[in-house]
Amino acid sequence: MKSPLTIRPIEARDRAAWDEMWAGYLVFYESELAPEISADTFARILSGALIGLIAENANGHAVGFAHALLHTGTWSPKPLCYLEDLFVRADARGLGAGRALIEALAARGRREGWLRLYWQTARDNETAQRLYDKLAQRTNWLRYDLDL
C-alpha cells in the first residue's frame, strides 16, 4: 500500500504553504523574525545552501517541512547533517510526517555517505522526544549558545 505522505524537496511553488507553516513554527517557539530573514531562508533552501524537504498528504496538501544543513567536521572526512528545523501542522500531527521527514533525510545521508544526522529539541518538548527516542540515540551533550 502506498504511503499517504510524499516527501520531496521544497520548490519555489511551495512558498505560500511554507510561509504559513514557517509562521506556525515561529509561533510554536515564541519567536519573531523580520520578513527579510524568512525570505533569505527560503532563498537559501531553493539555492541548495540548505536542504529543504516538504511533506504532502495524499491530497497534495503541505503538512510539514524539514530544513537541514550539511557540513564538514573534524572527526571524520564524511559530512554531518544538522536537522535545524522540523515542523508538522497541528492538524497533521500523529500521522507520521515528522518521522517520514527524518527518515527521508536519513535515507539521503545513507546514499550520499554522511557520517551522521543529528538534531536537538527543547527539554520540555516531550511530544517530539517520544518520536526522537524511537528514531535515534539520545546523547548526554548539552548545548550552549554564545550570541555574537
Classify residue 144: in a domain, yes or no: no
Residue 117 burial (C-beta neighbours within 10 Å; 0-12, 13-18, 19+): buried
| pLDDT tens column, 81-115 | 999 999 999 999 888 999 999 999 999 999 999 99
Q: What is the CATH number of the domain that holds 45?
A: 3.40.630.30
- What's the confidence (pLDDT) of residue 146? 67
Tell me, what's the pLDDT at 68?
Answer: 98
- pTM of the full predicted structure? 0.89
- Residue 54 domain-assigned? yes
Domain contains 140: no
Work out how many domains the chain is built from and give that number. 1
Q: H or E element: which one contains 85?
A: strand 80-88
Give the residues across from 81 on adjacent strands: 70, 117
Q: Quick check: is 87 in a domain?
A: yes
Domain span at residue 114?
Answer: 6-135
Return the amino acid letter for 106. A
